[in-house]
Structure 1
């Protein structure tokens, strides 16, 4: 919100000078960590002709003039697409620290613009990447870190009480009502009939996401950093899928939680341009059904995917990581100017 007059304007940053020093030191430490491991720092464009098709991530559009013609570009929601093009060409480990943008995300842990660390390791498994993440955390914390590994299924059953991969939409809706979560994100009273008619994996996943974010996440990572593994296959995005020990198809990915806060998201990367095209096209079908505009698909990424080496990649929220390391309670404490005062 722009202040009405100079008297009501507060020009000062929401972050203290002391916190600014801590942030600068953390960024310097991260760069030293990757330099020591011979991982190349790269920089890719913030603006892209393509957007993110994910129905839960809304891109910020920018109207530009290119060769005297008006065009719509999008501020990236992560540097993933462009970094994979570099990885396909250069075949070496790379990392990037950059601002990213996600529309309509404001809160104690959210801001439209935030800072992301993302890196990719050719020929790394998810286990290898988790080990490297642990070493980075140890360096930033200044002491040894033992990470807890927790399957999505087990965490869901422990804190929600139903099996997330086999429970019906009706059961999930009943649990939402029982936990008094009606009103978060969408309402079961008005939309339940539509969900029943569309009884598919995508609507199931919406209910799972609601329950996981409100009933599971707050309990994670308080005793030690926790990796949630083997997510439902509907959340695979750009990750591979595989069968778990019970024969259920799951996404080959993990997320890091510390003190109930999601910090990082990692994939065993899917290097199959045709399969990704199908996922992006299905995303756009869901966007239309949800009243969202379809997004242009990144053809450059699809062309690069078939040349990607086997690899794993991870995105880390720098602002949130600084929050949990310093004990800050609000994102505004670790950034200079939140979107409402930018």
Structure 2
């Protein structure tokens, strides 16, 4: 008898319910004869991937091939890729939950599978970003537009994952929610981490969970970047705060450091001459501002603080509207930057 904790056993059991697995994890596809067709293993719309639903001389149910890429695998791979899971234990737990199987210990025998990425590591972040897709036409776009953020060109650092894994705590049950995935990179563009914002299925707001935002990987000094850093850059804490300023100044390079502490430690591009510090109106924001101003001055960089009228720039944008928000920003810019970045809106 195949051990219950063996990967082959889980794949075999999933194959017995191949169509149900496809309907759940590959919901953008549909049945065609004895196959389920979909765009790819990450559940993109399309027809290039075929999942066998019935036993045949070619193999057991659950085996799949992507004709466009040559990828192939079983239903455990479908679960891993469609949910963005990064180690086999998570995949096995999800498979058992789908099959309503009791929990068991992992198979201690050697495996040929790639070693699991340590939770929260840079490698886990890289795998998660690789499993995600562009935000246009997804609930991430819906979420951002609902917060008044409509300037979305040049936001390739943001991605969408339809079923991002979420664990409330070390012992709580795992859940999956749609998520905005933000790539954190260093000054050379190397991905060092990722930030997740879990959303409701319709994109109307953040998911109703205890911590709808979490970061992973190597964050210190790095940021989520929009545009190519040049001699003028704006840097802030949050993604939405930074994107709000970008609605007023769409051609200025910007960076979101993800927290006040990380903003204070953000690394400066070598050609940076002027830094606009996007301040949040709270004690942590004031502390980040002061630290960053001191570091910039010591590095010979001109630093200018941009302050919101309310708690942060996203609240300003939503409360006052883009035209008034843009005018309030214009008053805080250097004259040469008003000419350079605001003439399009005149």
Q: Which TM bucket (shorter chain)?
A: under 0.3
TM-score normalised according to structure 1 size: 0.23
Q: TM-score if structure 2 supplies the norm length?
A: 0.23
Flag the structure with more relative contact order, 1 or 2, with Cα contacts below 8 A and sequence separation at least 6: 1
Task: Give the number of the structure whose residues are more often helix, by fraction.
Answer: 1
Q: Which has the larger radius of gyration?
A: 2
